[in-house]
């Protein structure tokens, strides 16, 4: 299937009989995923690696609350196709270092972590794939270090050339869904909550780490479109989990992460806690300054953006959130999938097909 520039291709639902993605081949053999650690004078980065070491590089950068393991299905698929796949734990997550200073979680530092890892792996121009905060890192690599990129693909979180910050996000809120008098920050209310109630937020997540992650890693309901997100009322409720200040116990959604992968995710957060990784949200001023230093603020590299139609976090299907990206990415392809925010976990086969089809169309083949 060919993806035309700036056209949105709406794809079928999660189990799409007759969908072009229903027959996406899976690896014929089990792909060996290796755990690695890079230590430099400034940081420790843990990462997963698979595929031939001499294959073309492809990085997968996770968001919050994730870790490298959420990319298993993508790493297995592309490694089997000949790519040298690398999925790092961003700082504050999994096996990577957890600096104590919230200022250490600005994009400048996260990008430098990836520059060090890229150099350690040979520094050949790579395909970079991101999700959520991982998108912000990938977009920053494309705009600050374009020579390190063959192409970039991002899921759910679009490029904001002036920075992924509250003052740039809030003006793009869908005010038909979130009237200003009721929802001054729209769905970004939870972001404000981290600024106002960081200690309480961290305590609530850590009250039961397993339950917190279990609540978040649930398949997105089909009826969320057109309804305000629960993220828009976090402060009014007194936190993510309301007055209980602990995540409710719900059955684990086994259609999402495999049990072993979910246990890996939980173990990582039980080790790191939430204070460091939540600090990603506390660096708006530094991130605005960093964005202004971009050498290529208009991204001319081949770029793919994957919309999630049921995303209640980064609503790019029913708001203006993706408009700045369309202005400042000159070689942009867009695909829409019928899933929620963690689209690569909810619809792994469709996500893999979207990325691989786009790579073929822009001439980034694994053998080249």
Give the pLDDT confidence score for residue 365 in this predicted structure. Answer: 77
Residue 264, in any domain of the structure: yes
CA nearest to 198, candidates 240, 247, 251, 237:
240
Q: Is residue 82 included in any domain, yes or no?
A: yes
Within a domain: 142: yes
Is residue 78 assigned to a domain?
yes
Residue ranges making up the domain that contains 337: 8-361
Smallest CA-to-CA distance from 190 within 135, 127, 105, 132 is with 132
Strands 126-131 and 44-50: unpaired
| CA distances for 120 relative to 34, 94, 241, angstroms | 16, 20, 41
Tell me what pLDDT residue 30 has: 60
pLDDT value, residue 220: 96
User: How far apart are alpha carbons 104 and 283 in whole angstroms?
Assistant: 9
Rounded mean pLDDT, 73-81: 97
- Looking at the predicted structure, is the pLDDT value of residue 238 above 80? yes
Q: What pLDDT is stored for residue 16 in this prediction?
A: 31
Looking at residue 45, which CATH number applies to its domain?
3.40.50.1820
Q: For residue range 332-349, what is the model confidence (pLDDT) as tens digits?
A: 999 999 999 999 999 999
> What is the domain count for the chain?
1
* Confidence band of 353 (pLDDT split at 50, 70, 90): very high
Residue 104 in any domain: the answer is yes
Contacts of 368 (CB under 8 A, 6+ apart): 56
**Which is higher by pLDDT, 30 or 188?**
188
- Residue 31 confidence class, pLDDT cut points 50, 70, 90: confident
DSSP state of 362: T
For residue 2, is it within any domain? no
Q: Which residue has the higher pLDDT, 79 or 367?
A: 79
Q: What is the pLDDT of residues 313-325, one digit of tens each?
A: 999 999 999 999 9
Residue 41, phi then psi, degrees to nearest 5: -70, -15
Assign 368 a pLDDT band (cuts: 50, 70, 90): low
Mean pLDDT of 17-42: 65
- Mean pLDDT within 8-35: 47
Q: Taking residues 59-66, report their average pLDDT.
A: 98
Q: What is the pLDDT of residues 41-53, one digit of tens each?
A: 999 999 999 999 9
Mean pLDDT of the chain: 92
pLDDT tens figures, 189-233: 999 999 999 999 999 999 999 999 999 999 999 999 999 999 999
CA distance 98 to 101: 9
pTM assigned to the model: 0.92
Cβ-based burial of 53 (10 A; exposed 0-12, middle 13-18, buried ≥19): exposed
Number of H helices, E strands in the chain: 14, 9
pLDDT digits (tens, 9 = 90+) for 103-135: 999 999 999 999 999 999 999 999 999 999 999
In-domain check, residue 366: no
User: Does residue 3 lie within any of the structural domains?
Assistant: no
Q: Are strands 126-131 and 84-88 parallel, antiparallel or unpaired?
A: unpaired
Per-residue model confidence as pLDDT tens digits over 261-304: 999 999 999 999 999 999 999 999 999 999 999 999 999 999 99
8-36 mean pLDDT: 49
| Strand 84-88 to 44-50 pairing | antiparallel
- Does the pLDDT value for residue 29 go beyond 80? no
Q: What's residue 20's pLDDT?
A: 33
pLDDT for 155 equals 98
Question: Is a pLDDT exceeding 80 seen at residue 15?
Answer: no
| Per-residue pLDDT at 21 | 35
């Amino acid at each position: 299937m060919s993806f035309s520039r700036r056209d949105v291709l709406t794809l079928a639902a999660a189990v799409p009989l007759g969908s072009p993605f229903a027959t996406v081949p899976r690896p014929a053999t089990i792909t060996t995923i290796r755990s690695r650690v890079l230590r430099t004078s400034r940081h420790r980065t843990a990462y997963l690696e698979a595929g031939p070491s001499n294959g073309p590089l492809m990085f997968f950068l996770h968001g919050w609350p994730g870790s490298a393991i959420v990319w298993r299905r993508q790493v297995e698929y592309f490694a089997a196709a000949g790519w040298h796949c690398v999925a790092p734990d961003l700082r504050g997550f999994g096996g990577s270092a957890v600096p104590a200073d919230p200022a250490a979680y600005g994009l400048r530092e996260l990008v430098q972590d990836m520059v060090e890892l890229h150099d350690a792996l040979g520094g050949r121009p790579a395909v970079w794939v991101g999700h959520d905060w991982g998108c912000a890192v990938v977009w920053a690599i494309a705009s600050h270090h374009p020579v390190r990129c063959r192409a970039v693909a991002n899921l759910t979180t679009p490029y904001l050339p002036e920075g992924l910050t509250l003052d740039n996000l809030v003006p793009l809120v869908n005010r038909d869904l979130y009237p200003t008098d009721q929802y001054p920050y729209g769905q970004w209310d939870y972001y404000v909550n981290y600024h106002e109630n960081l200690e309480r937020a961290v305590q609530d997540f850590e009250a039961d780490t397993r339950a917190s992650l279990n609540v978040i890693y649930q398949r997105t309901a089909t009826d969320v479109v057109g309804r305000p997100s629960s993220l828009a009322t976090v402060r009014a409720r007194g936190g993510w989990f309301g007055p209980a200040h602990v995540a409710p116990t719900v059955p684990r959604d086994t259609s999402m992460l495999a049990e072993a992968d979910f246990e890996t995710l939980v173990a990582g957060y039980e080790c790191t806690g939430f204070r460091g990784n939540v600090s990603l949200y506390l660096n708006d001023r530094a991130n605005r300054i960093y964005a202004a230093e971009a050498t290529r603020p208009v991204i001319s590299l081949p770029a793919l953006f994957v919309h999630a139609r049921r995303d209640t976090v980064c609503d790019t299907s029913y708001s203006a959130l993706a408009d700045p990206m369309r202005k400042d990415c000159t070689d942009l392809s867009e695909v829409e999938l019928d899933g929620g925010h963690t689209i690569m976990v909810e619809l792994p086969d469709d996500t893999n097909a979207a990325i691989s089809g786009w790579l073929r169309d822009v001439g980034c083949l694994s053998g080249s």
